Every structure is written in structure tokens, then in C-alpha cells.
Structure 1
């Protein structure tokens, strides 16, 4: 059964951003065999970090969920780029790891990460369900609220430059 995830994006009115460029010495996405590994993504939008602060001190749970969704959009932009301009090579979102900038007594990190996980299910259906880890950390680059990294299984094919 063939799935048209690009068409689903359009039908849902979800626009993927241009993939954010790395700010340091790493590659944002790497294809290895039939997997795409996406480096940790912050909630960048149009070149600016949209969500800052610590969950429980300056950032609400809703802020963190929105930030996680934006991280997910950036992840998908990198996956699409790595797959030659389409998400239709994706067979499964396998794993996500979320790092939430949060206060020591905060326990809402998994609820924040749902902003990204829900997006994957919205786009890929059951193929978007994944294993995940989500932890609280004492700080993140640029005082971002959340960083999310991911691994996707894809149909092997032409790799983007």
C-alpha cells in the first residue's frame, strides 16, 4: 500500500520550513542505509529561535508543546531534503529523543514532547508512532525550550547532495 505523505501535508495545511542550517560543526541529517538520522533541532522559524526559557520558569507547558511541534517541522524538513525532496520515501518514524530545558522539580517533559510526537502521527499515521526518550536538562543552546533528534526508516534510493 502506497502512502502519499506529501499530499497529506498539503491536505492538512502543514507547510514545512526550509531546513535550518547548522550553526556549528555537524551535519543536520545523515542517510545511512535505510535510515535518516536527524541531529537535534531547536524551535527555529524563519531563522529565529521562536521559543526560549525553562519549562516551569518562563516557559509554559503550552510554549514547550508548540516548540516541540516546531522542532518536528524542522526535523521533517531535513528528512524531506535527505530523501530528495519528498517524504514519500519514509516507511516509519522509529525514534525520537527530546531534551527539555526545565526546572529541577518539573515533571512535564513527556507532555511537552507530545507536541512533536503528535505531529509525526498526524502526518504518518501509525507509521509515525515511535519509541522515544524525553529528559529534563539544566540548559540548552540559546536558552531554547526543547531540542529533538530523530531516526526515520526510509526506502533506499537517491540521496540528496
Structure 2
């Protein structure tokens, strides 16, 4: 029996969002061979509300972790839309790039990024373990608190 990403998220009490459209002159996902390269996904909830702000200034670490989780859900929406939507279509989450809007004094970007990393492991198990960069930046699109891009290895295509 094949379990879908949507069903796995439902067991976690989460909903798979529809994939967002690009906001400028780029595309959301590029597939080359068995790799998906997913453009940055911001912390925009399905209702359109953005978890916005700057860590170390006007939002808490807990809100930052929540923002990372929302951005990671948006990554999952892109994966599901570009595959058959099943967990087995993903061989591995290879890398997450987690960008955190933060003051120069904020030093816990890795703790914020755990909101995304923990979700990937909860959804994909061992295949969700990945490499990662957690980077503090002065601002992100639309004032988002977190933006995440990803590289995902898919199961080999059969000819």
C-alpha cells in the first residue's frame, strides 16, 4: 500500500498546501534527472497569511520555528505536485537551505531551522534526514520570517 504525503501529514494533524506560483521571473521547481530543485518557499500559510517578522526583534523563537514548519509544508506541496504524491516517490530529502530573517545579534538560526528539519523526518523517516544550511538574513520577500529552498532526490524513473 502506498501512503501519500497528504495522508502522512494528516496523521500529524497537518494539511498539505497547494503549491504556490512564482512571484517573479523564475519557476518553482526544476527537475533534472532524479533531482528536484525547489525554489524558496516562504512562511505563507494556506489562508494567505504570512508569518512575518524578524527573529531577535519582533517575533519569538517559537514563532520562528512555526514559520519554518509552514515554509517546509510549502516545500512538501511543491514535491507532491511534481510527483505522484506518494512518500515512496521521494528517495531522500538531500538538502534544505533555511533563511531566517534575524537581527545581527540573533544566533539561533539552527534552532529555527529545526522546525523544517523535524517535519521532513516526521514525514519521510530516514529519507527525510538531510544536509542543511541555516542562514540569518536582514530581510525576506513579503516580510516573511523564514524562506526554505530544497534539493530532493526522487526514485529513479523507469524507461
Q: Same fold (TM over 0.5)?
A: yes
SS, match of residue 98 in structure 2: strand
Q: Which runs of 5+ in 1 are unaligned?
A: none
Q: How many residues align?
A: 157
Instruction: Summarize the Cα distance change of 1:81–1:145 in structure 2 as closer, same or farther, 3 Å threshold.
Output: same
Contact 1:18–1:77 (CA<8 Å) still a contact in 2?
yes
> How far apart, CA to CA, are the structure 2 residues paired with 1:5 and 1:68?
22
Contact 2:101–2:146 (CA<8 Å) still a contact in 1?
yes
Deviates more, 1:131-140 or 1:41-50: 41-50
Deviates more, 1:53-62 or 1:84-93: 84-93
Question: How much is the aligned-residue C-alpha RMSD, in angstroms?
Answer: 1.8
- Residue equivalent to 1:4: 3
- TM-score, with length taken from structure 2: 0.91
- Residue equivalent to 2:25: 25
Contact 2:3–2:86 (CA<8 Å) still a contact in 1?
no
- Residue equivalent to 1:146: 146
- Residue equivalent to 2:113: 113
> Would you say 1:77 and 2:109 are equivalent positions?
no
CA drift at 1:156: 3.4
- Residue equivalent to 2:44: 44
Contact 1:31–1:37 (CA<8 Å) still a contact in 2?
yes
Greater per-residue strand proportion: 1
> How far apart, CA to CA, are the structure 1 residues paired with 2:25 and 2:86?
26
> Would you say 1:68 and 2:61 are equivalent positions?
no
Contact 1:20–1:44 (CA<8 Å) still a contact in 2?
no
CA drift at 1:149: 0.4
